């Protein structure tokens, strides 16, 4: 396994706790600590070397990976996070593992929830208030697991101090130009501890609701949605009649993101209006880059023809239009189940032509493998059931099992 260690108190505590556990109960395990040097400020290379020195004293292998190349002028935190995930995933690949441990804490969780709450947005679903997931599948291949998500930073620092282990204070964490340091400063003031406790309770409640909504949406998708042809989904009339309205709306949001290759679910209010129009009778409408076409044969969802990338798949890089991963024809697709499809004569010819025009052009040298939008890049463990339902629907690559015991059993 890979353990991400920046040198801060949280990740340093994770390293020591992991080493202690391995020494007691899993002596055959050989973790590798990885420090990502973002190269954003002077001295970051020396800090990475300090982590290496600690690892040497502990007898843990250590690697330093540097975020090289030009840095963006804006959006540094998001860009650094993406670069960090990619470097850590590559490190995991190199070590033959799909597991990366990170040191996110309950304090990080509270900060995340309060930042999302402050941004407002849809108050009826509040999916984002579930906060940081206990585990997240990155790029379909690497699990990032957060074993300290229930622990407070103060306790971890006390643990380190008792062992005379120091840590690095990143000055970025005090930089008021960024949202998280501002939130952290507010929580360190009067009333901060109560706000943290309230935020953690909110996250627990929101995560439970999000998980339940996902399981119900997955059942609806499995029961009432088929892939009529590549790029064409068919919803049976029972999709709108067979259950609760809020579940159908959530499932429809997922399917719109899938059909349109979106990384985010479309707006709930607009999707609810589309749901009501579709359930009322036959017509055509568009939302989030997707054409919805209601006919006697069913309600069909397909990508709009506008704003498509070049149909030459190789021109789009490894992912095409958010919907397909372009791979070599030699790629082993044996792990991809065949998606169940309707007989061609059950689908209007005009819709088959439309769907075909939204696909990458066929090429003997490549394969276009479906990906599970909106979770192609990041799949939080909250959302495993609907993501697996979509993967089965599309015949996408099977989603690897979660390393968390509570998620291994659930395949629904």
Exposure class string for 180-207: b at 16+ Cβ within 10 A, else e = ebebbeebeeeeeeebbeebbebbeebb
Shared domain check, 238 and 168: no
Residue 63 lies in a domain: yes
- pLDDT for the residue numbered 408: 46
Residue 204 lies in a domain: no
- The pLDDT profile of the chain, 412 residues, written as one tens digit per residue, is 999 999 999 999 999 999 999 999 888 889 999 999 998 888 899 999 999 999 999 999 999 999 998 888 888 888 999 999 999 999 999 999 999 999 999 999 999 999 998 887 554 457 899 999 999 999 999 999 999 999 999 999 999 999 999 999 877 777 777 788 888 888 888 888 999 999 999 999 999 999 999 999 999 999 999 999 999 999 998 998 867 899 999 999 999 999 999 999 999 999 999 999 998 876 899 999 999 999 888 899 999 999 999 877 555 457 899 999 888 766 555 455 556 565 556 788 999 999 999 998 877 667 889 999 999 999 999 999 999 999 999 999 999 888 886 554 444 4
- pLDDT for the residue numbered 406: 57
Residue 310 lies in a domain: yes
Shared domain check, 353 and 322: yes
Shared domain check, 173 and 221: no
Cβ atoms within 10 A of the Cβ of 17, count?
Answer: 18
Residue 200 lies in a domain: no
Which residues form the domain of 367?
211-408
Shared domain check, 260 and 164: no
Shared domain check, 374 and 261: yes
Residue 89 lies in a domain: yes
Shared domain check, 39 and 185: yes
Residue 370 lies in a domain: yes
Q: Please give, one letter per residue, the 3-state secondary structure of 239-280.
A: HHHCCCHHHHHHHHHHHHHHHHCCCCCCCHHHHHHHHHHHHH
Q: How many domains does the chain have?
A: 2
Shared domain check, 177 and 286: no
Shared domain check, 218 and 150: no
Shared domain check, 120 and 6: yes
Shared domain check, 107 and 247: no
Shared domain check, 305 and 161: no
Residue 7 lies in a domain: yes
Give percent helix, percent strand, percent coil of the chain, each to the nearest 5. Answer: 45, 15, 35
Report the distance separating Cα 27 and Cα 155, nearest Å.
26
pTM of the model: 0.90
Report the distance separating Cα 326 and Cα 315, nearest Å.
10
Residue where a domain terminates, one of 125, 154, 189: 189
- pLDDT for the residue numbered 14: 98
106-119 vs 192-224: helix crossing angle, rounded to 10: 80
Going by C-beta distance under 8 Å and a sequence separation of 6 or more, which residues neighbour residue 251?
A: 217, 220, 221, 225, 239, 386
Report the distance separating Cα 136 and Cα 158, nearest Å.
28
Residue 229 lies in a domain: yes
């Amino acid at each position: 396994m890979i353990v991400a260690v920046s040198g801060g108190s949280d990740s340093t505590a994770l390293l020591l706790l992991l080493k202690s556990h391995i020494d007691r109960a899993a002596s055959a395990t050989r973790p590798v600590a990885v420090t990502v040097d973002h190269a954003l400020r002077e001295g970051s290379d020396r800090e990475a070397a300090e982590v290496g020195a600690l690892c040497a004293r502990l007898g843990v292998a250590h690697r330093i990976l540097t975020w090289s190349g030009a840095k963006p002028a804006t959006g540094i935190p998001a860009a650094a996070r993406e670069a960090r995930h990619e470097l850590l995933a590559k490190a995991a690949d190199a070590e033959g593992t799909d597991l990366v441990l990170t040191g996110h804490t309950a304090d990080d969780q509270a900060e995340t929830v309060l930042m999302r709450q402050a941004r407002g947005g849809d108050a009826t679903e509040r999916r984002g208030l579930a906060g940081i997931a206990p585990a997240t599948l990155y790029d379909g291949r690497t699990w990032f697991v957060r074993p300290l998500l229930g622990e407070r930073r103060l306790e971890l620092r006390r643990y380190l101090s008792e062992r005379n282990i120091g840590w690095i204070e990143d000055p970025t964490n005090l930089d008021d130009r960024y949202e998280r340091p501002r939130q952290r400063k507010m929580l360190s003031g009067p009333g901060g501890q109560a706000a943290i406790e309230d935020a953690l309770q909110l996250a627990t409640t929101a995560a439970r609701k999000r998980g339940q909504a996902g399981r119900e949406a997955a059942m609806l998708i499995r029961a009432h949605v088929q892939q009529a042809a590549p790029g064409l989904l068919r919803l049976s009339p029972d999709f709108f009649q067979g259950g609760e309205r809020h579940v159908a709306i959530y499932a429809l949001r997922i399917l719109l993101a899938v059909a349109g290759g979106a990384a985010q679910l479309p707006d709930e209010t607009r999707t609810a209006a589309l749901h009501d129009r579709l359930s009322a009778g036959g017509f055509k409408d568009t939302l989030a880059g997707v054409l919805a076409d209601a006919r006697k044969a069913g309600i069909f969802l397909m990508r709009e023809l506008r704003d498509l990338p070049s149909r030459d798949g190789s021109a789009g890089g490894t992912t095409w239009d958010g919907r397909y991963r372009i791979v070599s024809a030699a790629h082993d697709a044996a792990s991809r189940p065949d998606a169940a499809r309707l007989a061609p004569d059950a689908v209007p010819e005009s819709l088959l032509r439309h769907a075909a025009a939204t696909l990458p052009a066929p090429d003997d040298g490549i394969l276009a493998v479906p990906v599970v939008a909106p979770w192609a890049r990041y799949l939080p463990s909250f959302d495993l059931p609907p993501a697996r339902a979509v993967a089965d629907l599309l015949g996408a690559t099977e989603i690897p099992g979660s390393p968390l015991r509570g998620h291994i059993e659930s395949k629904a």
